[in-house]
Amino acid sequence: MFEFSYNFYSRLLIDRFIESDNYFYSIRSYLEKIIGYYNVRTDLCDGEYCGNTIVCAMHTPITILGNKKVGVAIKDISIIAGKLAASLGCMDYHSYKYDDSNIVKYKEYHFYKNCPLKMKIDLGIVLFSILCNVNYATIFVNSYFIEEIPQKLKFAYL
């Protein structure tokens, strides 16, 4: 997020939002056609918004929605990442101490019909996503990892 200009970030975010909305609209059940459907899932850590599926889609190198082979692709990426980490000596470090007592939940919304946004326009979702990124770094990463370790900054940046 931090390496993008605002215009690039907002355009990419809105493009991913439109993809999500179109996908979930196309697979609605009969009941969802009547009562409405969800197009964004948000992550909450101790009651604070710390992520959403649109931000995740921006940073995922492959298409997820409707991709039946996504599991295999993620497994292959994980194998490559693991081999790179092992070749760089990352296995020589001790595991991190973390606090697993954080309450992590998710909540689904239809943006813009029933969502936590006050501004139910594109600017609202951009600002909400920036808030999610900031909260991820300042709330989730900080409370999840107990030790003050340099990796906190790396996890926050990811």
Distant-in-sequence, close-in-space partners of 39: CB < 8 Å, separation ≥ 6: 17, 20, 21, 24, 25, 109, 110, 111
Q: Is residue 1 part of a domain?
A: no
Q: Is residue 47 part of a domain?
A: yes
How many Å apart are CA 108 and CA 14, to the nearest integer? 18
**What pLDDT does 20 receive?**
92
**What pLDDT does 88 receive?**
81
DSSP string, 109-127: EBTTTBSS-SS-SHHHHHH
Per-residue pLDDT of the chain (158 residues; tens, 9 = 90+): 567 788 998 999 999 999 999 999 999 999 999 998 999 999 999 899 999 999 988 888 888 888 888 889 889 988 998 898 888 877 776 677 778 888 889 999 988 888 787 778 888 889 999 999 889 888 888 888 777 766 666 665 55
Phi, psi of 116 (to 5 degrees): -75, 0
Domains: count for the chain? 1
Of 22, 51, 56, 55, whose CA–CA distance to 39 is shortest? 22
Helix ranges (DSSP H) in the chain: 6-26, 30-35, 53-59, 70-87, 122-135, 141-144, 151-157
Residue 94 in tokens: 């001790």
**Report field, pTM of the whole predicted structure over 0.85:** no
How many Å apart are CA 102 and CA 46, to the nearest integer? 6
Which residue has tokens 């991820």? 136
Q: Which residues form the domain of 141?
A: 6-157
